[in-house]
Amino acid sequence: MSRITVIGGTGYTGSAIVAEAAARGHQVTALSRSLPGTPTPNVDYVQGDATDEATLSAAMEGADVVVAALSPRGPLADTFRDVYRTVARLADAAGQSLYVVGGYSSLRPAPGEDRFVTDLGHIPAEHQGEPRTVAALVIEDLPATPPTLDWVFVSPALRFGSHTPGERLGRYRLGDEVAVQPQDGGEISAADYALGFVDLIEKGDHHRTQVNLGH
């Protein structure tokens, strides 16, 4: 059993990770500004703003593993990377492993090829901010952390998200920084992403690296 704090634990991805981890008997704390309408049993929900370091620190205290599942939308669009830098600093100081919910755009189509984020021309300019911001975490910010910080950046498949919630198939495929080739339409449900995510936490066999989960 691990003590796991999920920052953004009531969101689309975070709530699935919270549910999967709690179902496996981990001791889970979820931080968000509002409390969930339908809480997962046996989860400690903490209400607070992750932009406040004292709030973050209190939510992360005592955890073995910290999961970062915020999204760079709304008020967090401009502060997201700073918040994640603070999370990384606090996790490093406490010796906690950091697992980051990532994005698809930071993956590569094939070994040695440029990451998708280098050519987002097919996406309207107003929608490019989120993939660029999330990709910057794994391209710039996480590699720049002290080597003592154990981090894993977990990218989902292309068509992942609340717009394509999908269903739990009870399986996933794990890739590295090259996107796994879709076999079932290229999407992965939040439940199956969470399955792979918590498997990664339990196995603990990836360090300071990017992986991806698809179907």
Residues in touch with ligand NAP (CB under 6 A): 8-14, 31-34, 49-51, 69-71, 73, 76, 101, 103-104, 130, 134, 156, 158, 160-162
- Other beta carbons less than 10 A from residue 174's beta carbon: 14
Two structure tokens written together for 71: 């999204």
Task: Please identify which residue in the block is written with the tokens 């700073």.
Answer: 82
Dihedrals φ, ψ of 190, to 5°?
A: -60, -35
In terms of CB distance, is 1 or 73 closer to ligand NAP? 73
Taking the complex as a whole, how short is the minimal distance between the CB of residue 118 and ligand NAP, in angstroms? 15
The pairing of beta strand 27-32 with beta strand 3-7: parallel
In terms of CB distance, is 58 or 147 closer to ligand NAP? 58
Taking the complex as a whole, how short is the minimal distance between the CB of residue 64 and ligand NAP, in angstroms? 21
Taking the complex as a whole, how short is the minimal distance between the CB of residue 33 and ligand NAP, in angstroms? 3
In terms of CB distance, is 96 or 104 closer to ligand NAP? 104
In terms of CB distance, is 21 or 101 closer to ligand NAP? 101
Type of residue numbered 188: I
Taking the complex as a whole, how short is the minimal distance between the CB of residue 107 and ligand NAP, in angstroms? 9
Minimal CB distance to ligand NAP: which residue? 11
Residues 6+ away with beta carbon under 8 Å from 14:
6, 7, 8, 30, 32, 67, 69, 101
In terms of CB distance, is 1 or 162 closer to ligand NAP? 162
Residues in the chain: 215
- Of the candidates 120, 122, 91, the one whose C-alpha atom is nearest the C-alpha of residue 103 is 120
Taking the complex as a whole, how short is the minimal distance between the CB of residue 200 and ligand NAP, in angstroms? 15
- Of the candidates 101, 29, 14, the one whose C-alpha atom is nearest the C-alpha of residue 60 is 29
